[in-house]
Chains A and B, each alone.
Chain A
Amino acid sequence: MNYTSESIEKAIEIFSSFPSIGKKTAQRLTYFLLRQDDSFAEKMSKVIIDLKHNVRFCSICFNYTERDPCPICSSTKRDRSILCVVEEPNDVVSIEKTNDFYGLYHVLHGVMNPLEGISQDDIKVVELISRLHDVEEVIFALNPSVEGELTTHYIAKLIKPFGVKISRIASGVPMGSSLEFSDDATIARALEGRIAI
């Protein structure tokens, strides 16, 4: 395409490599940038560079952090005997928003997927096991996908010998919805995961 510039094309290419951004949105973002003052572009490049320079993994829970250990891991107010295992850093944000969990986290950075050749060595499983010495309970909060389920039960098998209490979050009928509008698959799985009252 010779009616735009090489710089514009490069910018579009970069933007469209973002998740959920297609060619058209990438174009819109590029033209938006061109309309802004120079200071905007400078500020933005600095933000991006700082992001990459300052943010790293917490050496304990593998969440993103600017200081190691992260604020959650170094907090004295949290219950250090409970560990919540999640797939990705943004899952920590989802659970923190509930203000209902006061334990610590462990971010796996993915789930196992034999079909795609992702094994336990590709995610933070060894790191999880090395944290178990003063932990009493491990709660799995992975996504309810086949791979999440496989990973949960696989790791549960691995850590059973450590004598910790192991659980996974419940799945079933969502809050605010009623049984009437739930399909039979959801209800049947919710029945399987029923709890004593």
Chain B
Amino acid sequence: MKIHKIHIVNLRNHADNLIELSPSTNIIHGSNGSGKTTILESVALASHSKSFQPTDDKNLIRWAENRYFVNVFADYDMDIAYEISINYNRGSRKQINSSKGENLYPKDIIGEMPIVILTPDYKAITFGSPQDRRQFIDTVLSQASKYYVDAILKQKKYLKHRNAILGQFAREHRIDEKLLATATDFFISYSSDVIYKRFQFINEFIPFFKQSYAEITDSAELVELKYKPDSIEFNQFSKMEKSEISEQLVKASKNLYQNELRRGTTLFGPQKDDIDIFINQGLAKDAASQGQHKSLLISLKFAEFEFLKTVVRETPIILLDDIFSELDAARSQKVLELLLTKNAQTLITVTEPDKFLNWQKDKSNFKIISLSEGRIVT
């Protein structure tokens, strides 16, 4: 997928900008608050209707305005045109129209324009909480499978309903057993779908991860990923059937029933899953050095790129938000070199373009976009 034009209206500090992009590397630079990241956010909005920064849509609207609008013109790898627009008016539902249809829901567009984002905030994936790692799997898998999107949305909804039923019992000591049983049945059914998909995903993802780690570090360090589903016992080396997963969840729900009633909340399920990242047989969370953490994160992201490219059969767009300020010169150069071999469209925000360009001898592939206070300068 390659974007050739983005039209941004009233998004953060962009008033009305038409930005033309190069199909290879785009360097977006400007001082702090000039609106660099907003351009990456507009691509994220077009890809899955949400920014990669935790924020409400109403906070994305430019000051004193009532709506934002993003219109992206792109081409699939096969040279077929794809256009999408996101229109958000304060207080109403986001309007999404694309070449695929009008009045779409976010779940309809996810995966259509695959993207891989790397920002310094994603450090949390390798040493943050399980939630950060689940979110990582969810964003990758959601772009790869609509079935997963459907399953995880329903799983989360049933979790809320189930917690509401259990919570009511904890407060009022009143429970509709049949309702709880029905909600539990569905919760387990969709949870099994989610766990099954995550199993499958981790197994397919590991080879990509190992390979990109080796490419980035040129080292013989061994890395490994291990899925740790809550309440499920399994043999890592044998295939797990969906029916086995639901049986184990049913067992867990029976064992935890009294406890759940007392605590008024659900105590099992994929919302408690984790993935362990290993380096040289030690847990990365505890054992990895600062430098290894950075290499792990970058290889997870390159692996995400290769995985999506293989599964979606469309080259993802790569968004790098100010990551070179976090990397030393040698690692930066390595990442950049590797990036150029991917043949993907890349959008990179930098604060110091000169330092960045010095790393690269051939500058003909680069398009430089300069920003100042939400306006394009060059």
Does B157 lie within 8 Å of A184, measured CB to CB?
no
Q: Is B63 an interface residue (CB 8 A)?
A: no
Does A154 lie within 8 Å of B179, measured CB to CB?
yes
Does B182 lie within 8 Å of A185, measured CB to CB?
no
Residue of A nearest to B162 (CB): A114
Does A146 lie within 8 Å of B182, measured CB to CB?
no
Q: How far is the CA of A115 from the CA of B162 in the complex (A)?
A: 8
Q: Is A100 an interface residue (CB 8 A)?
A: no
Interface residues of A (CB under 8 A from B): 22, 112-115, 117, 119-120, 146-147, 149-150, 153-154, 157-158, 183-186, 188-189
Does B179 lie within 8 Å of A112, measured CB to CB?
yes
Q: How far is the CA of A117 from the CA of B176 in the complex (A)?
A: 12
Q: How far is the CA of A117 from the CA of B161 in the complex (A)?
A: 9
Q: How far is the CA of A154 from the CA of B161 in the complex (A)?
A: 13
Q: How far is the CA of A17 from the CA of B220 in the complex (A)?
A: 67
Q: How far is the CA of A153 from the CA of B180 in the complex (A)?
A: 11
Q: Mark B136-165, 1 if CB is under 8 A from A, else 0.
A: 000000000111011100100110111011
Give 8 A-B contacts (CB < 8 Å), ordered by A residue: A114-B161, A119-B179, A146-B154, A146-B186, A150-B158, A150-B179, A183-B146, A188-B147
Q: How far is the CA of A158 from the CA of B151 in the complex (A)?
A: 26
**Secondary structure dominating the interface of B:** helix
Checking A119, A146, A157, A158 against B157 with a beta-carbon cut-off of 8 angstroms, the contacting residue is: A146
Does A113 lie within 8 Å of B182, measured CB to CB?
no
Known: A115-B164, A146-B157. A157 touches B182 (CB 8 A): yes
Does B146 lie within 8 Å of A150, measured CB to CB?
no
Q: Is B361 an interface residue (CB 8 A)?
A: no
Known: A150-B186, A185-B149. A114 touches B179 (CB 8 A): yes
Interface residues of B (CB under 8 A from A): 92, 145-147, 149-151, 154, 157-158, 160-162, 164-165, 168, 176, 178-179, 181-183, 185-186
- A23 CB, nearest partner CB in chain B, Å: 10
CB-defined contacts of B165 to chain A, threshold 8 Å: 114
Q: How far is the CA of A189 from the CA of B68 in the complex (A)?
A: 36
Interface-central residue, B146, B151, B179, B183, by most chain A CB under 10 Å: B179
Known: A153-B185, A154-B178, A154-B179. A114 touches B146 (CB 8 A): no
- A113 CB, nearest partner CB in chain B, Å: 7
Q: How far is the CA of A185 from the CA of B154 in the complex (A)?
A: 12
CB-defined contacts of A183 to chain B, threshold 8 Å: 146-147
Does B146 lie within 8 Å of A153, measured CB to CB?
no
Interface-central residue, B92, B146, B154, B182, by most chain A CB under 10 Å: B182
Q: How far is the CA of A153 from the CA of B181 in the complex (A)?
A: 10
Q: How far is the CA of A154 from the CA of B146 in the complex (A)?
A: 27
CB-defined contacts of A22 to chain B, threshold 8 Å: 92
Top 4 closest pairs, chain A to chain B, by CB: A185-B150, A183-B146, A114-B164, A185-B146
- B106 CB, nearest partner CB in chain A, Å: 14
Does B182 lie within 8 Å of A153, measured CB to CB?
yes
CB-defined contacts of A115 to chain B, threshold 8 Å: 160-161, 164
CB-defined contacts of B179 to chain A, threshold 8 Å: 112, 114, 119-120, 150, 154
- B278 CB, nearest partner CB in chain A, Å: 31
Does A154 lie within 8 Å of B147, measured CB to CB?
no
Residue of A nearest to B144 (CB): A184
CB-defined contacts of A146 to chain B, threshold 8 Å: 154, 157-158, 161, 186
Known: A185-B146, A188-B147. A150 touches B164 (CB 8 A): no
CB-defined contacts of B168 to chain A, threshold 8 Å: 114
CB-defined contacts of B145 to chain A, threshold 8 Å: 184-185
Q: How far is the CA of A91 from the CA of B176 in the complex (A)?
A: 28
Does A154 lie within 8 Å of B149, measured CB to CB?
no
- B170 CB, nearest partner CB in chain A, Å: 13
Assuming A149-B186, A150-B186, what are 4 further A-B pairs, CB within 8 angstroms?
A22-B92, A114-B162, A146-B157, A150-B161
